[in-house]
A and B are shown apart, each in its own frame.
Chain A
Amino acid sequence: MYPPNFEYYAPKTVQEAIGLLDQHQGEAKVLAGGQSLIGMMKLRLAQPAALIDINRIPDLAYIREEEAALVIGALTRTAELGRSDVIRGRYPILSDASAEIADPTVRNWGTVGGNLSHGDPGNDLPACMLALGAEYRAEGPKGARMIPARQFYQDSFVTALQSNEVLTQVRIPRAGPGTGSAYSKMERKVGDFATAAVAVQLKVGKGGSIDAAGIGLTNVGPTAIFAAAASEFLTGKTGSDSDLKRAGELAADASRPFPDNRGPVEFKKDMVRVWTRRTIAHALGRAKGGP
């Protein structure tokens, strides 16, 4: 199965990549891991006139914790999220998600930047970034700008990224003491997109109540969803059973799933309710030093 013809460029710098994207006026696409794009091209769901392969640009793959943020380069392979000690230790929501994305071979090539820019509601990392309150660095002809994840996802495969911009970095506010996070995904089999999946990060204050919470949902709507009401509701609560139950209901209310072969709407909403409760419990446990 061959895709249609396209021009192929392998620039060595981000500037060069931006120039090529700009020159093609919306007809070119960035090629990162290719694990979504190439399949779509074979099926003619995407027919870019040119591919700008960013894999030859050095220094776009890294994970480092700075004073105020965890920063991840766009070309970091999804598999690396599962191998990084910093992430496993302090941002386990991302190692949880990494283990559930596709399969190990796809994860070796698929990139963090691609997972976030693609705009597929089935991608697992966007909901994590919504929960974490991350920002994406977009570089274009006019320079760089930061886009909050919570303003990035507009519709299925439609994001705030312009066709001449490259997503180069993700910045996640540094996890302070008392922070716990988790991602759980209900899937039919390895490599499947989620029936429903839930991302949670919360911070437990000295008094034992929840100071801040973020909840993101995967594949239960046209985009990844930030469950704002559920997140706000948890803030200031102790995390009792009834708090978790109520947050689950609010998250289910925020979901807008489509019926498909993974299940009808009612079932998916109910799975959001149940999995939100469980994922909050897991994140709370981790905030208190649990596994």
Chain B
Amino acid sequence: MAIDAAEVPRTPGPVTTRTIHVTVNGVSHTSTVQNRMLLVSYLRERLRLTGTHIGCDTAHCGACTVLVDGIPVKSCNLFAVQVDGRKVQTVEGLASGATLHPIQEAFHEEHGLQCGYCTPGMMLASVALLAHNPNPTEDEIRRGISGNLCRCTGYVNIVRAIQHAAQKMQTPAKGGP
């Protein structure tokens, strides 16, 4: 597969590429990428999964957080070649069809967002936090999302949303026997 010339700015030196196999939100992709392509650019520019945002581009803000084999990572600080053979989950993979993931429902119901810029990263960090610790205290939630900055909400409703999601994910779904 050819490299899209517009994808990356030119710099001196030979262009070095590698072919990777990655499963993103359950779909497998085989792509030839420049070695220096960041995971976030691969997701946004190659796969057109633009739900993963770039905020600071310096590993500080967490807007670009995705899960690699279930572990949150700032995708602006990892090369696409590093996820060869791994599973990546982005915000686009949270809902199943028209059914929102409990964390998405909770952010909606508790008004856990204003501009929405931090929200995809915030939700993925939360999903990983709840997988590890299904019933976190407020303090654990605040520490757990301390790699994700929000410039709008003041975090209060984000914390509430995560608490709400924790409850939803523990209560068995309605309609059982």
Contacts and interface: CB of A to CB of B under 8 A. Distances in A.
Given A34-B79, A55-B82, A5 B57 contact: no
Nearest to B59: A39
Count class of interface residues, chain B: 35 or more
A190 B60 CA distance: 10
Contact of B57 (A1, A8, A108): A1
B147 interface: yes
B32 interface: no
Interface in B123-150: 125, 143-144, 146-148
B137 to A, nearest CB: 15
Interface in B25-44: 34-38, 41
B146 A103 contact: yes
Interface residues of A, number: 28
B35 A35 contact: no
Given A39-B58, A105-B73, A5 B144 contact: no
B171 interface: no
Given A2-B36, A53-B82, A8 B18 contact: yes
Given A3-B36, A39-B58, A109-B73, A8 B146 contact: no
B14 interface: yes
A30 to B, nearest CB: 13
A5 B125 CA distance: 31
A191 B146 contact: yes
A106 B59 contact: yes
Given A5-B15, A104-B143, A38 B60 contact: no
B78 A105 contact: no
Interface stretch (B5-13, B92-100, B102-110, B160-168): B5-13
A10 B84 CA distance: 10
Contacts of B77: 34-35, 38-39, 106, 109
A4 B143 CA distance: 35
A4 B11 contact: yes
Nearest to A38: B77
A7 interface: yes
Contact of A108 (B34, B37, B72, B84): B72
A39 B15 CA distance: 20
Given A7-B16, A191-B147, A106 B78 contact: no
B112 interface: no
Interface of A: 1-8, 10, 31, 34-35, 38-39, 41-42, 51, 53, 55, 102-106, 108-109, 190-191
Q: Which 6 A-B pairs have the closest CB atoms?
A: A103-B147, A105-B147, A5-B13, A8-B35, A190-B146, A4-B11
10 contacts: A4-B36, A7-B35, A34-B77, A38-B38, A38-B77, A42-B57, A102-B147, A105-B62, A105-B147, A191-B60
